[in-house]
Amino acid sequence: MHKMIMASRYMLGASLLVLAGAAFADEDGETLGLIELDQNLGDVEKPPELPPGAYTGEIQDVQMGTSQKGNSYFNIKFVIPPAEIPAELQDDFEDGAQLFYNRIIVPKKGDRRALFNLKNFIEKIGLNTATTSVDPNEWMGQSARLKVVHETYQGEKRAAIKSLEAAEGAVKQAAQAAPAKVAAAAGGRGRTRR
């Protein structure tokens, strides 16, 4: 019995060593190396936040997420180009400012509020809402006017998207696309029957 307990302890210890080693390996199982920083980590200060205001942002990524309540939603990354950022902060946002919009829930059958919110979002990014299917891949590269505010998250002030508006020209694009889409859905016939 004593030998069995010792063997179990040895196996447990070996397992913990393997787990500890795995914690310092990348997803391919290779050991992670030392990371050299260009400055002392203790001297690093929080970068400035994008000031509240209205900015035009472009969608550069869309991912699916799941809320704590189990609802699926779209995690939409908008990037505000440096030219939109106040001149005194442009050095801090060389690649633009990234903000995430997580308020569009994937509609479930019969969820009219989620459908309405999705419709408003689609309109505001300049796409046609006369459709029965939505492809989030079509959102890539679309723009909207973002109302940015400061919110407190875990004790820190952060820039966040409060609401969206159609970017200048987006409404015209959607209106021009509507007749073409209706004609395509009618089998390419560009006229309506009377």
CB 116 within 8 A of CB 129: no
CB 146 within 8 A of CB 168: no
Question: Considering only CA atoms, which of 142, 143, 71, 132 is closest in space to residue 107?
Answer: 71
Counting Cα atoms < 13 Å in the Cβ hemisphere of 138 gives: 13
Cα–Cα dist 142/62, whole Å: 11
Exposed/middle/buried for residue 182 (C-beta within 10 Å: 0-12, 13-18, 19+): middle
Residue-wise pLDDT tens for the chain (194 aa)? 444 444 444 444 444 444 444 456 667 777 888 899 999 999 999 889 999 999 999 999 999 999 999 999 999 999 999 999 999 999 999 999 999 999 999 999 999 999 999 999 999 999 999 999 999 999 999 999 999 999 998 999 999 999 999 997 554 444 444 444 444 444 444 333 33
Written as six digits, the tokens of 16 are: 């913990």
pLDDT at 30: 79
Q: Residue 188 forms beta bridges with which residues? A: none
The amino acid at residue 97 is A
Contacts 24+ apart (CB under 8 A), 23-29: none
Cα–Cα dist 125/137, whole Å: 13
Quote the DSSP letter at residue 31: B
In angstroms, the Cα distances linking 99 to 25, 57, 128, 137 are 31, 9, 24, 18
Whole-prediction pTM value? 0.69
Tokens 């987006």, residue? 170
What CATH number does the domain located at 50-185 have? 2.40.50.140
